[in-house]
Structure 1
Amino acid sequence: MIEINNKYNINLGSAKGDKHCIQHVHINLKESYTMTSMKLFNRLSEDIGQLLEKEENYDMIIHVGEEEEMKEFKAHSLILSARSTYFKSALNNNWTTKQHDGKIIFKKPNVSPKVFQLILKYLYTGVINFHEQELNETFDLLIAADELILDELKDQIQEHLIEHESTQIQQNIVQVLHIVFGHNAIIFQKLQEYSVKKICNNPEILFDSSNFVKLEKYILVELLKKDNLGIKEVKIWQHLIKWGIDHTPCLANVKFSEWTITEFNALEKTLHDCLPLIRYFQMSSDEIYKQVYPYKKILNKQLRRDIVAYFMSPDYQPKSLLLPSRSGSHLDVESKLINNDCCSLLEKWIKKDDKLTTNNNRPLSYDWKLIFRASRDGYDAITFHQNCNNQGACIIVAKITGNQNERLVGGFNPIGWFDSSGQYSAAPDAFLFYIENKDLNNAKISRVLPYCASKAIFQEASSAVNFGAPDLRISNNCNKNNSSFFNTTSFYEYSIIIGNFSVIDYEVFQVIKKENSRERKKSAHEC
C-alpha cells in the first residue's frame, strides 16, 4: 500500500496501482491548488485595492488632467514603482517634487482623470472592466497604457477590441482608422492590421459608410495601395471621385456640366496622390467610357493615351505604371484550385492565343461559374453528369496525386457534356493542359489534332471526363483509384505524358463570354 500522510489523507491503493486513479488524484490536487491560488490572489487584489480606495498611508499625490478638469489621486509610490517601469523611472529620475510634509507630487496633464482612475485601479488590483467603457475611452486607455509602458494591459485592450468590439469597430470604421493610423503605428499595430484586413475582406464597411468622405487622405492612399482590396476597381473610382469633390471646396456649388479646366485642375490637385493607385486597366471598356472618361482631364496625357490604346488593341503595352490586379473574395473566381491569373491564361488559350504570357491587369473576358466541385458534390460519375451535362462550354481543372509538386491537369470542352452510352463529339477548339506548382510560365497546352477533331470528346456515363481516345480521363470515384489517365498520344498534340493517377479534387466551370455594351445593343436590335 502507498499512503500519503497529509491533510488530504489519500490512499492510492496497491503498489502496482491504477494509473487512471493516480492521474485522477493528481488532477484533483492540481485543481484544488489552482482554486486555492485563485482565491488567494483575489483576496490579495481586494486588500491592495483597499489601500487605494481608503487612501491609507499614501505618500504620493498625482495631478491628472488640466485646469478645471484636473483631479488629485492619492497613491503609494512603492506600488506604482513595482507595477510600472514608467513610474519607477519617474520616481528615480527626479520627475517629481516633494511637499514640506514629504508627500511626492507628480503631474500628468495629458491623461484624462477617468482614464487614469482605470489605470490606477489596474495597477493596484490587476483588474479592469472594459465593458463599462465607450469606444473612445477604450482607445484613450490604450494610448495611456502605451505611454505608461503597461505592455500587458496594452495587449489585453487590443485583444478585447478585436474579440468583443468588432461590431463597434465596423460601425465606426472611419473614426477607428483615424485613431490607429494617427498615432504611433507600433502602439496600434494589432488593431491597424485587423482594421485593414477587415476592410480588404469587406470593403463596403468603409466605402459605403456615410463618413467615408471624412477619411484623411494619407489613410485613403495607404488603403488604395493594397492589392487585396476586394472591391471592383470601378467602384473604388466612383467613391474616390465622390471623396475628391467633397475635399475640393471650389466644386461645392458648381454643376458638373459647368466645369471648366479650373475645376478639373482643382480636383486633380486634390486627388494627385490617389490617381496613380487606381488599376485603370483592370476595368472594362464600358466602365472606362461611362465612369472614367467624363473625368479624363484629371488624368495625365500619357495615361489617357495608354487607356485608349489599351482598350483598342489587345497587344498594346501601356507605358504608364502597371499595378498588379487586385485580388479578394469579391474579385476572384470561386475556386480552390486556380486563381485569376490562371483563368486569364486559359482564356487566352480559348481565344487560340497560345502564348504563355498573361496580362494580369486585364479583366476576365468570361464569366466563370462553378457548377461542380468533387470535394463538395461527390466524386462519382453520376453526380458529375447531373451537375455538368447540358451546360455548354466548360473548363475542367483537377488536382492530382504524384510527385511532391502540386500538379493540375484539365481541359476545355467547348460543346459540353451530354447523356450518352458512349459516342464521340466533334470539338475542334478543345484543348488539354498541365500546370505544375502554379508556374504559368511553364504551363503546357495540347490542342486536339485537326484531323482528330471529330473525336475530341468521348461522351459516356460510366466515367466523368473523357477527352479523346482517351488522352485525358477522370474516372468514376477518381479519389479512390488510379484509373484516371493523362497521355496526349492519340487525338491531341503529343506534348503531355503523365500516366495514371488518382484525383485529390476537381472543379468544373461553365464559361460564358461577357458581352460589352455594343454587343448587347446589337443582340437586342437583332431580336
Structure 2
Amino acid sequence: MSSEKVLEKLWPYLQLFEPKLWLEINTKFLAPEKSISSLILPPRKILSATLPTRTTPIPSIPSNIITNEYALELSSWIDRKETTYTENNPYESKLLVRGSRDGFDVKTIYNICDKVSNTIIVAKVEDTGEIIGGYNPLEIHNSETKWYSSQDSFVFSLKTENLKNSIISRVTIFNYAICYYTNKLWLQFGGALTLGGNLKTEKKSNCQMYAYEKSIRSNLNGFSVEEFEVFKVSPKK
C-alpha cells in the first residue's frame, strides 16, 4: 500500500488502531523489510446467505363455519371497500353464540347478546351447505318488539362449491333494517333474512327481499340450519 493510500484509507480511522500497530505501519515505510509483531486478523467473511423473511401468522377466526378468507371478505364489506382485504384484517371476532354449544333457539341470541352491538350472524343451511348471515351494527335488545333504523347493516351469502361468487345485499329502506321481535322469538334483517324459532328443528327461517337490495337465496322457502354462530366484531387495538 502506498503512502497516499495510507493517508486516504487509514488516516481517517486512526483512532481505531492500536498505538503499536499504527507505529509499525509507519515503520514499514522507513524499513520495508522489518517484520510486524502486531496481531493481524484474517479478512472478514461476507455472509451471502439470505435470511428468511419474518412473517406474522394470521390469527384464526374461532368458527366452525367460516374461514379467515371469509372473515376478510366480511371485514371489507363492513368498511365498504371495493376490493377484498387479503391480509391484516382490521377487525377481531369474538365468538358469542354457537348453536351446537349454546342451543339453536333464537331466544339464545337475545339472552347472550343483549346490549351487544356490531355483531355478525353466520349460519350453514341444512342440506344445501349454503353459508348465509347478516351484519348488525346496532345493539341487540332482548325485551323489545320494534323496528330499528340502520344505514350500515347488510345480509350475505358466501361463495361455496355451489355458488360462484359471494352475494352482499345492503339495506335500502333504513327504517326497516333490523327488527327485534322477542315475544315471538324472531330476529329480522328487513325481510332479507328472518331467523325464527328453533333454527335447527324448525323451518321458520327464510330469505325474501324486503328492505334490502337483493335476495341472498334463490330458494324462498323456509329452511333449518346445521350450525349457526354469532360474533362480536371489534377494531383491533
Does structure 1 residue 346 correspond to structure 2 residue 74? yes
What is aligned with 2:174?
453
Contact 1:372–1:507, Cα closer than 8 Å, also in 2: yes
Q: Secondary structure at the match of 1:486?
A: coil
Deviations 1:304-324 (A, max 9, x none): xxxxxxxxxxxxxxxxxxxxx
2:132 is aligned, of 400, 404, 409, to 409
Question: Offset at 1:381?
Answer: 2.4
DSSP 3-state at the match of 2:206: strand
Contact 1:384/1:464 (<8 A) preserved: no
* Structure 1 counterpart SS, 2:174: helix
1:481 and 2:202 are equivalent in the alignment = yes
Distance 2:90 2:200 in 1: 32
Change (3 A) 1:411 1:438: farther
Can you list the C-alpha shifts for 1:26-67, whole angstroms capped at 9, x where unaligned?
A: xxxxxxxxxxxxxxxxxxxxxxxxxxxxxxxxxxxxxxxxxx
CA contact (8 A) 1:445 1:495 kept: no
- Deviation of the 1:350 alpha carbon: 0.2
Residue of 350, 363, 370 corresponding to 2:95: 370
Change (3 A) 1:272 1:492: same
1:485 aligns to what SS in structure 2? coil
Q: Which has the higher contact order (CA 8 A, sep 6+)?
A: 2
Which ranges in structure 1 are unaligned for 5 or more consecutive residues? 1-265, 284-325, 516-527
CA distance in 1: counterparts of 2:98 and 2:201, whole angstroms: 16
Residues matched between the structures, number: 190
Aligned partner of residue 442 in structure 1, secondary structure: coil
Q: Judging changes above 3 Å, is the alpha-carbon distance between structure 1 residues 439 and 364 closer, same or farther for their aligned structure 2 residues? A: farther
Aligned CA distance change for structure 1 residues 473 and 273 (closer, same or farther; 3 Å): same
Q: Per the alignment, in what secondary structure is the counterpart of residue 123 of structure 2?
A: strand
Match of 2:19 in 1: none
* Residue 384 of structure 1, CA deviation: 1.8
Q: Structure 1 residues 387, 354: CA separation in 2 closer, same or farther (over 3 Å shift)?
A: farther
SS in 2 for 1:484: coil
Distance 1:366 1:359, change over 3 A: closer
Output the amino acid matched with 1:424: W
Displacement after TM superposition at 1:496 (Å): 2.4
Structure 1 CA distance for aligned equivalents of residues 228 and 115 of structure 2: 19
Q: Deviations over 1:315-359 (max 9, x none)?
A: xxxxxxxxxxx46xxx2010000111100000000001254xx34
Name the residue aligned to 1:274: 52
User: Cα deviation per residue 1:89-125 (whole Å; 9 max; x = unaligned)?
Assistant: xxxxxxxxxxxxxxxxxxxxxxxxxxxxxxxxxxxxx
Asked if 1:514 is matched to 2:228, the reply is: no
Q: CA deviation at 1:439?
A: 8.0
Distance in 2 (CA, whole Å) between partners of 1:364 and 1:438 is 24
Which residue is equivalent to 2:227? 505
Q: Secondary structure at the match of 1:478?
A: coil
CA distance in 2, matches of 1:373, 1:509: 9
Which structure: greater helix fraction? 1
Give the deviation of 1:416 after TM superposition: 2.9
Q: How does 1:25-36 map to 2 (within 5 A)?
A: none
RMSD (Å) for aligned C-alpha atoms: 2.3
**Displacement after TM superposition at 1:392 (Å):** 1.1
- Alpha-carbon spacing, 1:438–1:365, altered in 2? closer, same or farther (3 Å): farther
Q: Is the 8 A contact 1:446 1:492 kept in 2?
A: yes
- Give the distance between the partners of 2:102 and 2:91, measured in 1 at CA: 24
- Contact 2:96–2:231 (Cα < 8 Å) also in 1: yes
User: Could you tell me which residue of structure 2 aligns to residue 38 of structure 1?
Assistant: none
Q: Percent of counterpart pairs with the same letter?
A: 29
- Residue 507 of structure 1: how far off its partner (Å): 0.2
**C-alpha distance in structure 2 between counterparts of 1:512 and 1:464, whole Å:** 25
What is the TM-score when the length of structure 1 is the normalising length? Answer: 0.34
- Check the 8 A contact 1:342/1:440 in 2, yes or no: no
Which residue is equivalent to 2:192?
471
Q: Which has the higher strand share?
A: 2
* Structure 1 counterpart of 2:104: 379
2:168 aligns to what SS in structure 1? strand
Check conservation: 1:429, 1:447, Cα contact below 8 A.
Answer: yes
How far is the alpha carbon of 1:464 from its aligned partner? 4.9
Runs of at least 4 residues off by over 6 Å: 438-441
Deviation at residue 419 of structure 1 after TM alignment: 2.6
Match of 1:491 in 2: 211
